[in-house]
Structure formats: C-alpha cells, structure tokens
Amino acid sequence: MFGMHVNGDVVRIAPNDLVFLTPQAYTDIYTSTIDRKPAFIKSHMLDTGDKHEGLPSERDLDVHRALRKKMSPEFSPRALKKFEPVIHEHVDDLIDQLEMTGKGAEGVDAAQWFEWLFCDIAGSTTLNHKFRNVQSGQAQPLLKAIQVVGKWLTVKHVLQRFPLIYPFSFVCMPPSVGLSFYSILSETKSVIRKRIQNKNDLKRQDFLTGMVAEDRPVDFLVSQASHLVFDHYESSSPMTAAVCFLLKYPTALRKLQQEVRSAFPQATDMTDAALQELPWLHAVLEETLRLHTNVPYGLSRFSPGATVDGHYVAKGVEVHSAAYATTHSPRYFNKPYEFHPERWLPPTDPAYDSTFDDDDRQAFRPFSIGTRNCLGQNMGYLMLRLVLARLVQHYDWELLSPEVDWDRDLRLWAVWDKPCVKVRFTLAKEI
C-alpha cells in the first residue's frame, strides 16, 4: 500500500474502491456526521449477518448511536479503574508461568503468550469468565477458533467483490472454518447464559453488567461480547510489537527500565494513574502504535457523494484510509521506519530531539476519529501500560530471534498474523 502511494495521495484498488493517504482525508471521511454533513456509511466488511450486530459492525447510524451511548460510560477512565486489579491478577499469572518457562535456553514465543494473556483478560472483563489460557500454557478452543475465523473473514471480504462466485465461497469453506464459527458461537452462548444465571451472585462488574441487567436477548449479548473479546485479543499485537521494537533498540529499553524501576520498586505500588505520569512509557507506546498500526484493515466507508481532500467521490464508491502508508510517510514523520519514542516527548523534555519538530501528529490516528472511533481505546492503553510496565519492572529481556523483522514477517488478515518473537525473561537484577 505504501509503494502505491509513492505515485499519489489517492489510489484506486478496485473499480469502486479508493484509498486515501492524507490526514485531511481522515477528517473528511470519519468526521462528516460531526459537521452535520452527509454520513459516510460503514461498509459491510464486518457484517456478521446476525439479527443483532456488534457495536463495531453496526451500520445503521441511529442504532449505532444509541448503542454507543449506552456502552460509553463503561469505557470512561473512571469506570475502567475497577479493572486494574483484574489485569494485575492476569499479569501475575503470566509472571508465574514465565518464571518456569521464560528463562530457559529457548525462551518463549512472546506473541503466543500475549495472545493468551489478552484473551484471558477479555474473559474476565467482558464475561466474568476464566479462559485460563495462561494458566494452562496453551490456547483454549475459543482462542484457536478466533484465529481461524479471522483469516477466513479476509477471504470472505475479497470474494464479496465478485458477486457471481461469492455464493460458492460458503460451499468451498474449509470444514475447520465452519467448526470454528460454531465453536465461537456455541461457547460464547454457553458462557453468556451462565453469566445471566449468575448475574446476582457475581462479585465483580464487567462490560456486560448493564446490558444483562436490562434483560437483553442472548443473541444481542453474544454479538457485543464477541467483538469485545476479539478487540481485547488484538491488543496482543501492539504488545508484541513493543517488545520486539524495544529489544531491537536496546537504548530505548534501558531508558524504559530505568524509568519504570525507579518509579516502582515494587509491583504493588503500580497504578495506572501513576503510569500515566511516565513520559518515556507513553512515548514508547505511541511510537509502537505508529509503526504497528492498530487495525489491519482500512476502515472502509461508502461515500454519500462528497468531497474527500479536494477530490469529489461519487455516491456508493468505497473509500478507505491508509494508516500504514500515512504513518510511514517521510512527508509526515522524519525517519518513519525507525523506532524513535523521543519524537513523542514534550519539547521541554531533555530527551526530546528537535529532529522531529516537523512531524505531523495529525497523521497519527491509531484509534481512528469521529463518532465511530474506537470506544475501547482507554482500555487498550490501560492494558498496554500495565502489562508492559509490569514485565519491564520484573524481568530483564533477551531477544533470541534476532533475525525477526517485524514489517517483513508480519502478515495482514482481518487479524494480525504475528511473527514468532523469541524472548528469554530473567529476573531483573535490581529485584
């Protein structure tokens, strides 16, 4: 995608599909309803075909607006504080496991363990359910199914562009995909029903507490829960990327170790409010999200017949953003392919580098913008801060797969297919 944009800011990738590079295009496409202009309607890429769509896939503007209004309070920074102990408990499980497996000669695949961790966090925060991927040291059936279905959704979306052959795609669907769909639906329904039965006995609230109290239909709850679990799972990608980048840039890692360990001699002292005061930790996460775009696809919308960055786009044409090409463009970021957290520091910080004075931060939209921006972005930052800080505080890291190249080895589907990042975790010398 970046190579195509070398020849222009707008690229036609199909007869009725345009991809835009510029920050202005982001504003025109994703904030049209804020300015009371005709809306760019979400495409059918994430449609499940169910009666009740999850919040991210709901295309009806009024339904989406009402549902988001209902769910938004649960994702406020104040409401999310109740999940800090939950995340700490799951990181404790991870640290216990890494004590046994992470210090060996072969290390561990960080990507795999982070997938297990974030899926476990999703179970607790969304369903009040323990998946126990980390405790068992292996992926449970639901997680395996998510990975299979994620790849099939990409194939499905491509085949939708060919109306004559699209119906046959379901005939040719591999049995493993069909079984995975059934596995996700069946297990989620089972957990939801149990969640409803025990709604008065639960000691902790979760993201579904309010909707369960309203006696919403099971299928509605399944749709919302499925998206929430999936979105938690995808946080494993920037987490793995952060570890990979830090190990490739040891000076940045040492600076993060010094900042976190000096601020928190003990893990019990660590709160998210305190972590938000650490400038280098924030800079590391921002730079990670710049180099590794949070969403693997282009957030496609259908044009209502409107102008996008000076180009009139006819009604019905599908338009996309190009997050990767934008954040890797030298027009917007100096040294775009290099890991430089210092670009995100305040100019008054001694570690700030004026080399990055001309960076255009409007080109950095890791959670999109507008009325459909990511509702869970506060939760995403909360998880990434706590998990990364805990691992930096507790362990010294060693990269055992120096040949890994994140950009080269990463594969893009509806979910990220991450490379194996082998890491040895040994108890930090300061502890």
- CA neighbours within 13 Å on the CB side: how many for 378? 15
Q: What is the mean pLDDT of residues 216-234?
A: 91
pLDDT of residue 202: 84
User: Which range marks the domain in which residue 84 is found?
Assistant: 31-294+366-427
Helix (H) or strand (E) holding 391: helix 377-394
In the predicted structure, residue 146 carries a pLDDT above the cut 80:
no
Q: Is the pLDDT of residue 201 over 60?
A: yes
Question: Are 289 and 301 part of one and the same domain?
Answer: no
Query: What pLDDT sits at residue 7?
Result: 67
335, 365, 395 - which closes a domain: 365
Bridge partner residues of 10 (DSSP): 20
Tokens describing residue 397: 């890291």
- The model's confidence at residue 70, banded by pLDDT at 50, 70 and 90, is very high
Whether residue 20 sits in one domain with residue 143 = no
Same domain, 324 and 215: no
pLDDT in tens, 86-131: 999 999 999 999 999 998 899 999 999 999 999 999 999 999 999 9
| Distance from C-alpha of 425 to C-alpha of 99, rounded to nearest angstrom | 8
Whether residues 102 and 141 share a domain: the answer is: yes
CATH number at residue 251: 1.10.630.10
For residues 325 and 245, the model is more confident at 245
Examine the domain organization and report whether 222 and 114 are in the same domain: yes
Residue 143 confidence (pLDDT): 81
User: At 377, which amino acid appears?
Assistant: Q
Q: Are residues 48 and 148 in the same domain?
A: yes
Overall domain count for the chain: 2
Which of 345, 365, 385 lies at the terminal end of a domain, its last residue?
365
Q: What distance in Å separates the CA atoms of residue 350 and residue 352, rounded to the nearest whole number?
A: 6
Predicted pLDDT at 169? 73
Where helices occur in 8-83 by DSSP H, the ranges are: 23-30, 61-71, 77-80
29: Cα separation from own chain's centroid: 21
β 41-42/108-109 pair status? unpaired
If asked whether residues 59 and 160 sit together in one domain, one would say yes
Whether residue 355 sits in one domain with residue 275: no
Answer yes or no: is pLDDT of 289 > 70.
yes
* Residue 236 and residue 354 in one domain: no
Same domain, 3 and 129: no
| Token code pair at residue 228 | 């929430």
| Phi and psi angles of residue 354, each rounded to the nearest 5 degrees, phi first | -65, -10
The share of the chain scoring above pLDDT 90, in percent, equals 70
380 touches 373 (CB < 8 A): no
Q: Are residues 166 and 307 in the same domain?
A: no
pLDDT tens digits, residue range 387-406? 999 999 999 999 999 999 99
Burial call 29-67: b when 16+ CB within 10 Å, e when fewer: bbbbeeeeeebbebbebbeeeeebbbbbbbeeeeebeeb
> Strands (DSSP E) along 272-342, which ranges?
301-302, 306-308, 311-313, 318-321
- pLDDT, residue 150, reads 73
Phi, psi dihedral angles at 195 (to 5 degrees): -60, -40
| First and final C-alpha spacing in the chain | 45
Asked if residue 394 and residue 269 are part of one domain, the reply reads: yes
Q: Rounded mean pLDDT of 36-65?
A: 87
DSSP for 74-87 reads GGSHHHHGGGHHHH
